């Protein structure tokens, strides 16, 4: 097998099952229904490398705005590694995001490799694992996110992201088995969180809040829906309040990745990001 034998095509929605499966096998613990949401974000942003029609490598290069993109799902099939097929699909993804600031998450062991490719480290992301369950307390200010006008949810989400992502959120908060909750303060959305079923247990992401008290109430409510658990949450290492929240509930760090950017990094209010949406799509 050589690079010259490799062909690249865009994935269709059904191909996303390959990406979710390979990500699961790599230990990334994706949500079991993530594929449709990711595809809704940018149907032209997913790439499949094939040799004689056989999948050998995958990559996503999702464009969120004219000048912001995110790379993820970079996996080469284990028996095809070291043959150059990964470089072919990587080149395609980078070309698709030409002119953009590009974000990605990578393992700490690959950080130096990406630095040589022009990426700079923004911060670490620590994945915490904890128990689920608990008593769900009545809270008149805690509502299903679908009961809150969608435009308010989109605007609030954009405060903590690279811009508005209407198509993604419309799918993210309405999938089977998803719990999406918002918290109100003086009639305004002051935080929201989403819990979804993953390959192992449940993932909380995002969890955005204006202050630690709101994050605390959202976390308690979300983990109560987590069945037997476990529950995972990806926390920026700069958010000390988020780390304190995780430790308060006995969560333990199980993985560390690095958020990096090629180009001018966006300035995000990390102090309000208690749980990141996704390591695959930012």
Q: What is the pLDDT of residue 248?
A: 97
Same domain, 79 and 179: no
Same domain, 180 and 237: yes
Q: What is the pLDDT of residue 202?
A: 96
Q: What is the pLDDT of residue 282?
A: 84
- Does residue 85 lie within any of the structural domains? yes
Give how far Cα 33 sits from Cα of 84, 181, 199, Å.
Answer: 31, 18, 10
Residues 118-135, mean pLDDT to the nearest whole number: 94
- Does residue 113 lie within any of the structural domains? no
- Long-range CB pairs of 108-111, under 8 A, 24+ apart, other chains included: 108/256, 108/257, 108/258, 111/258, 111/260
For the stretch 91-125, pLDDT in tens is 999 999 999 999 999 999 999 999 999 999 999 99
Both tokens of 152, joined, read 């308010």
Q: What is the pLDDT of residue 142?
A: 95
For the stretch 11-32, pLDDT in tens is 999 999 999 999 989 989 999 8
- Long-range CB pairs of 166-173, under 8 A, 24+ apart, other chains included: 167/40, 167/41, 168/37, 168/38, 168/40, 168/41, 168/281, 170/40, 171/36, 171/37, 171/40, 172/37, 172/277, 173/145, 173/146
Same domain, 88 and 228: no
Which domain does 99 fall in, by range?
3-103
**CATH number of the structural domain spanning residue 65:** 3.40.630.30
For the stretch 154-169, pLDDT in tens is 999 999 998 889 999 9
Look at residues 69, 103, 137 and tell me which one is the last residue of a structural domain: 103
Q: What is the pLDDT of residue 229?
A: 87
For the stretch 31-73, pLDDT in tens is 988 888 899 889 999 999 998 889 999 999 999 888 899 999 9
Q: Taking a C-beta distance cutoff of 8 angstroms, is the pair 218, 183 a contact? A: yes
- Does residue 111 lie within any of the structural domains? no
Look at residues 103, 136, 161 and tell me which one is the last residue of a structural domain: 103
Same domain, 132 and 259: yes
Residues 227-245, mean pLDDT to the nearest whole number: 96
For the stretch 243-280, pLDDT in tens is 999 999 999 999 999 999 999 988 999 999 999 999 98
**Residue 44 CB neighbours (<10 A):** 12
What is the dihedral sign for C-alpha 6, 9, 10, 14? Answer: negative
Instruction: Give me the residue label for tokens 């995972």.
Output: 232
Same domain, 142 and 250: yes
**CATH number of the structural domain spanning residue 232:** 3.40.630.90
- Does residue 263 lie within any of the structural domains? yes
Residues 127-140, mean pLDDT to the nearest whole number: 89
Q: Taking a C-beta distance cutoff of 8 angstroms, is the pair 70, 282 a contact? A: yes
Q: What is the pLDDT of residue 136?
A: 79
- Does residue 82 lie within any of the structural domains? yes
Q: What is the pLDDT of residue 65?
A: 80
Reported confidence tier of residue 182, pLDDT bands at 50, 70, 90: very high
- 3 state SS for 138-190: CCCCEEEHHHCCHHHHHHHHHHCCCCCCHHHHHHHCCCCCCEEEEEEECCEEE
Same domain, 133 and 271: yes
Domain total for the chain? 2
Same domain, 210 and 242: yes
Q: What is the pLDDT of residue 3?
A: 57
Same domain, 25 and 150: no
173 has a pLDDT exceeding 90: yes
Same domain, 156 and 229: yes
Same domain, 132 and 232: yes
74 has a pLDDT exceeding 60: yes
- Does residue 163 lie within any of the structural domains? yes
- Does residue 224 lie within any of the structural domains? yes
191 has a pLDDT exceeding 90: yes
Residues 4-15, mean pLDDT to the nearest whole number: 87
Reported confidence tier of residue 4, pLDDT bands at 50, 70, 90: low
Same domain, 131 and 233: yes
- Does residue 112 lie within any of the structural domains? no
Same domain, 52 and 156: no
Q: Degrees (nearest 5) of the Cα angle 273, 274, 279?
A: 75
213: left (phi over 0), alpha (psi -120 to 50) or beta: alpha
């Amino acid at each position: 097998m050589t690079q010259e034998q490799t062909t690249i095509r865009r994935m269709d929605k059904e191909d996303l099952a390959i990406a979710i499966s390979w990500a699961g096998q790599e230990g990334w613990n994706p949500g079991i229904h993530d594929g449709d949401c990711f595809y809704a974000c940018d149907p032209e942003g997913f790439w499949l490398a094939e040799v004689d029609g056989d999948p050998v490598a995958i990559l996503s290069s999702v464009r969120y705005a004219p000048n912001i993109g995110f790379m993820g799902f970079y996996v080469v099939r284990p028996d095809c590694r070291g043959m150059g097929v990964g470089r072919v699909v990587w080149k395609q993804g980078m070309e698709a995001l030409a002119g953009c600031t590009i974000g990605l998450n990578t393992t700490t062991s690959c950080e130096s490799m990406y630095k040589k490719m022009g990426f700079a480290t923004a911060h670490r992301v620590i994945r915490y694992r904890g128990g689920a369950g608990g008593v769900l307390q009545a809270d008149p200010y805690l509502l299903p996110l679908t009961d809150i006008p969608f435009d308010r949810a989109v605007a609030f989400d954009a405060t903590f992201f690279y811009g508005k992502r209407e198509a993604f959120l419309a799918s993210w908060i309405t999938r089977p088995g998803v719990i999406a909750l918002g918290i109100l303060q003086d009639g305004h959305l002051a935080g929201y969180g989403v819990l979804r079923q993953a390959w192992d247990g449940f993932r909380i992401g995002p969890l955005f809040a204006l202050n630690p008290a709101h994050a605390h109430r959202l976390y308690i409510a979300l983990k109560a829906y987590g069945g037997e658990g476990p529950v995972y949450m990806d926390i920026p290492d700069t958010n000390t309040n988020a780390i304190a929240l995780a430790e308060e509930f006995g969560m333990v760090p199980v993985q560390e990745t690095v958020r990096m950017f090629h180009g001018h990094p966006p300035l995000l209010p990390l102090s309000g990001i208690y749980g990141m949406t996704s390591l695959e799509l930012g």
